[in-house]
Amino acid sequence: MVAAIDFLLVYLLVYRLLVWISESHAESLVRGLLVVFALYAASFTLKLTTLNWLLGKFATVLMLLILIVFQPELRRFLERIGSGRLMTPLVSQDEDQYVSVIKQLLRAVDILSKECVGGLIVIELGTNLNEYIQSGIRIQSHISGELLASLFWPKSPTHDGAVVIRESRIAAAGCLLPLTEATLQDRRLGTRHRAAMGLSEVSDALVIVISEETGVISLAERGNLTRYLNKQALETPVVLVCTRKCCCQRGVGSLL
């Protein structure tokens, strides 16, 4: 019995640690740490005294840097443990909630496109977007097509930035996104499209762009930009990613 409890606790801690690594862009950092530890073990085994001493000192500094750089993520991880939500799944929304979100999202895109109002909508998936959410105005609201469209209306304080959607809610508006360094094929594309491409290059987020000049709908994903979409054409990729996000076994496209 004690062994089973011990195994369960270790499993939960390792699971939450892997989730935290995935959410905080720390995969490359973990690989770097493994390389450093491998070099340290090799230097100790081969009795490379100078290298062993240097890596030992470097490891101490590296641990301090990790604590500083990932302080917000570590705090949220400890808060989750302290609040008893260690076993809470990453996404708790059911299929009906996502169907509603998709409907309202497509309605907002349709409104913006018809009125030729520029828009930039980000759907957070696996990659944590906290650094971009913090650059905007916190909303934390349920999604409605009209509310979402109003955030981009001219003279609104949030119309120039991006709206980030996290777990069926509008997390923030007026957010600043990284701009791509790549050369866009169409020179007429402006900052919104460059920002959409930039975020899609550094995360797995799905980014929808509505052109202010033409009302053309575009979709950025994994560093690729697909243009000239309509409401129906946009529905398929949005349904796919939202279905994947909520871990449903059944598709929701037939419900829209």
For the chain, domain boundaries: 2-82, 95-248
Share of the chain above pLDDT 70, in %: 76
Identify whether the C-beta of residue 44 lies closer than 8 Å to the C-beta of residue 52: yes
**pLDDT per residue as tens digits for the range 3-60:** 788 778 787 777 766 766 665 556 666 777 778 788 888 888 888 888 888 877 777 7
Q: What is the C-alpha separation between 115 and 130, in angstroms, rounded?
A: 31
Whole-Å CA distances, 120 to 43, 51, 75, 240: 51, 50, 30, 19
**pTM of the full predicted structure?**
0.64
Question: What is the number of alpha carbons within 13 Å of residue 17 lying toward its C-beta?
Answer: 7
Tell me the two tokens of residue 94. 């059911």
| Order of all β-strands in the sheet with 162-166 | 137-142, 169-175, 162-166, 119-123, 206-210, 217-221, 224-229
Domain at 95-248, CATH from 3.90.78.10, 1.10.357.10, 3.40.1700.10, 2.60.40.1180: 3.40.1700.10
Q: Which of 197, 231, 256 is nearest to 109 (CA)?
A: 231
**pLDDT per residue as tens digits for the range 51-87:** 888 877 777 777 777 777 666 666 666 655 565 544 4
**pLDDT per residue as tens digits for the range 204-256:** 899 999 999 999 999 999 889 999 998 778 877 776 666 555 543 333 333 34
Q: What pLDDT shows up at residue 158?
A: 93
